[in-house]
Structure 1
């Protein structure tokens, strides 16, 4: 017996988890002892882009497909059908708990096969991490209600889908990480969902497809659902109160646990967006990392909407900030002034990374670097890096 075969079963299953599911299945031909190891691995990953579909002559027939019956029927299947067939067979053959399940593929709006997969997973009380990426720019697939019975989830990642169901009771008491990318939903349904996640520590909410009701989604509403949040990432346009007419002067909630804040789609000459940023910063006294992604668009013709200036916040302290990163940085005075302010008011700052937008030339890069390097520094150990993103 070889050395690997003598390893404890748990270690063998861990090794197999690092392999694509088809490669893990190929180990079944190594020996009698290896025949059933792959059907016990707790982590399953299926990716349509890397899934090996068979050719007409069978030259690239995967081990999974070789193991299943009805080869003549398989030959008539398309790649997507074969992937669904492989997933269903793996789930039927699988023994033991499934802790981590990932699926990345394109689906349409009425995908019964996908509904069956989620229903199957919902019947297991072992799923801790679920990642579903439906790779559909139209966001047509509607998540089935069975998804919301996965009460034991610790991490949930959803991309390109529709969140329309609103069960009377959400219970994601174990959920600590939620990542929502390009989902379609209503603000009331989203808040209802988040209210059932009392342990949430990491939230990524990147979507322009949140439909506002008469009330509208406000940052105040969101933060009420996030008492323990440590990492928060969102697009500026997510909230209804980002518009200047209803932007609050301060937040009623202090984000004492927030360590990392990431905001996208910012544009400082639209000064209310800068006000919104400082609103978040001042409500996050223990913030350690700030990531900003500016809009990579020339808005030079836009008018400023109020008289707010950075001088209004010159007394702001970034007492715990250790890292600042800005992408799509331009050479506008507001952006430079903001970084200069951070450098002057951050006594423990260690790293500042600036990625300029694609229109900056070498001379502009050098000018930005020189201005920042000669700026007053509150931290004696800060390193400043300026380059193209």
Structure 2
């Protein structure tokens, strides 16, 4: 027979309660320093600083927190300006700084930021994020280019001038420039002087119409803006590319040689691509020139393809088909209709119907999953979906997200009656 469980004795006085609480607190205080840093780093900086009132042992524990994040959570009930808070934190901080992030909506470009960056360049800092939400662009001081321990750099609404003495960020692995003003030569100089760069994001760069990228170690790339041309050097490690020509390029760009194509130019040096995403007018850019049957090299590693597409454009459809046929490992394909004028939509239906009839014998054996987002139910879109159903013998699932629910039932019935090359293909409307 088990002995009765002993009841825990509860403290009877306020003094005993306080002692019990302090004993529990001391257990946390005795944790290893790196674990304490992890705990404090997960708190907003204002809460981390408040731990200084817990006890004498905790008074300066926050001062060695390696991640300093000053965002909209960093506010003061006493109305203390964000600049004053940052000044005091940096003044009292000890040890290396892994991350310094300034992303406060009340923060404008000012000389205060110059002082903080000067301080950072004198200590070991691995990551700097500067998001200037309002006012004029912030001009990056030359002191930032002396931060040789940087692994990640992210700038938003900044003006960048590369100093002549800048020799590069030798260990930088990630660079993110969004709504940044700099010249094409400065952009190329900055990228080329980061030999270990693995991730690169370029979005909305003022005045940049052409982008040339060649970084031997690059693995992930996102390029977005009012661009006219993109060129890639030899990048044998690049696995993921997202391109977004945000403006209608019209006839403003493209190869001068009639025998050349943007498709050939883009893929001649990208042998290991696994993921491709073409937003807005990017596919229109690729379709400029005589669309070939295949790219210069088969995309033997490509597994995922996303594309905005004008289903009235024979050139864009041929370009997508070229990419799919040249990708033996491609399993998942996503499409989003690119909006065009309604009067254009009715002018090419006859031509597109002939096109689909000519390509009925095409076979897309490798494709297993297809998604269509923003499906409007136009005849060219419907013909395209029917073509995919009849040309994909190993298709497992097709997901369609209509632009509206109007007429959804009729479209679904028509697709369910369509012939399918795959007996296991499932068509889902969401």
Q: TM-score range by the shorter chain?
A: 0.7 to 0.9
Rg (Cα) greater in structure: 2
The question of whether the paired residues in 2 share the 8 Å contact of 1:103 and 1:133 is answered with no
Larger RCO, structures 1/2 (Cα 8 Å, 6+ apart): 1
Please tell me whether residue 128 in structure 1 is matched to residue 128 in structure 2. Answer: no
Matching of residues 365-380 of structure 1 within 5 Å: 365-380=408-423
SS in 1 for 2:120: helix
Deviation at 1:332, TM superposition (A): 1.9
Aligned position for 1:201: 239
The question of whether the paired residues in 2 share the 8 Å contact of 1:173 and 1:197 is answered with yes
* Count of residue pairs the alignment pairs up: 358
Equivalent residue for 1:237, pick from 281, 302, 305: 281
Matching of residues 209-224 of structure 1 within 5 Å: 212=253, 215=256, 218-224=262-268
Is the deviation greater in 225-234 or in 14-23?
Answer: 14-23
Please tell me whether residue 79 in structure 1 is matched to residue 123 in structure 2. Answer: no
The question of whether the paired residues in 2 share the 8 Å contact of 1:198 and 1:225 is answered with yes
User: Quick one: distance in 2 between partners of 1:24 and 1:196?
Assistant: 46
Unaligned 5+ runs, structure 1: 70-77
Rate the CA distance shift 1:277–1:196 in 2: closer, same or farther, 3 A: closer
Aligned position for 2:305: 261
User: Quick one: distance in 2 between partners of 1:6 and 1:380?
Assistant: 64
User: Quick one: distance in 2 between partners of 1:62 and 1:326?
Assistant: 51
Give the TM-score taking structure 1 as reference length.
0.73
Please tell me whether residue 173 in structure 1 is matched to residue 216 in structure 2. Answer: yes
Deviation at 1:66, TM superposition (A): 3.5
Aligned position for 2:12: none
SS in 2 for 1:81: coil
User: Quick one: distance in 2 between partners of 1:237 and 1:165?
Assistant: 14
Is the deviation greater in 372-381 or in 21-30?
Answer: 21-30
The question of whether the paired residues in 2 share the 8 Å contact of 1:157 and 1:178 is answered with yes
Aligned position for 2:80: 58
Matching of residues 93-104 of structure 1 within 5 Å: 95=124, 98=126, 102-104=129-131
Unaligned 5+ runs, structure 2: 1-24, 92-105, 152-167
User: Quick one: distance in 2 between partners of 1:315 and 1:45?
Assistant: 58
Rate the CA distance shift 1:126–1:301 in 2: closer, same or farther, 3 A: closer
Aligned position for 2:400: 354
Deviation at 1:19, TM superposition (A): 5.8
Aligned position for 2:190: 146
Deviation at 1:204, TM superposition (A): 0.6
The question of whether the paired residues in 2 share the 8 Å contact of 1:229 and 1:257 is answered with yes
User: Quick one: distance in 2 between partners of 1:178 and 1:164?
Assistant: 16
The question of whether the paired residues in 1 share the 8 Å contact of 2:302 and 2:330 is answered with yes
Aligned position for 1:67: 89
Matching of residues 320-331 of structure 1 within 5 Å: 320-331=366-377
User: Quick one: distance in 2 between partners of 1:8 and 1:315?
Assistant: 67
Q: If each structure's strand is expressed as a fraction of its own residues, which one has the higher value?
A: 2
